[in-house]
Amino acid sequence: MARNQKHYDTDYKVQSVNLAKEIGLSKAARELGISPSTLNGWIKATREGRLTVVPGSQTPKEAMSLADELTMLRKQVNNLSKENKRLKEENEFLEEASAFFAANRRTCSSSKTQSQRHYQR
């Protein structure tokens, strides 16, 4: 007679492996109601790269709290806003300097042309 095997989806396996890393293999297997050998097989598959632990599936210890993540993201937005403001100011300054030098060049160029005409007479 064939054994009645259960099929677990990848996300369940990954979460189970993460739980085992946090609380230990035997305790995790007991809490999940699976055999330790099954869980051990998933851990081995993770180590060998056959079961990929995706970035979103972290153990509670490794995961950042939502408040911490929100604080970090706010700081990041604040820093990017400051940098954006600074770059806009620099760009504005460079545009003004470019216009100044272009006007100055035209003035110098036209005065040279006039003085060359004066000497050619």
**Domain extent for 48:** 8-59
Interatomic CA distance for residues 109 and 15, integer angstroms: 74
* 34 domain-assigned: yes
Angstrom distance (rounded) from CA 9 to CA 42: 11
Q: pTM of the predicted model, to two decimals?
A: 0.43
Under the banding of pLDDT at 50, 70 and 90, the label for residue 118 is low
CA distance 66 to 84: 26
What does 73-90 look like in DSSP terms, one character per residue?
HHHHHHHHHHHHHHHHHH
- Average pLDDT for 17-26: 92
- Same-domain status, 52 and 78: no
Domain match, 68 and 121 both: yes
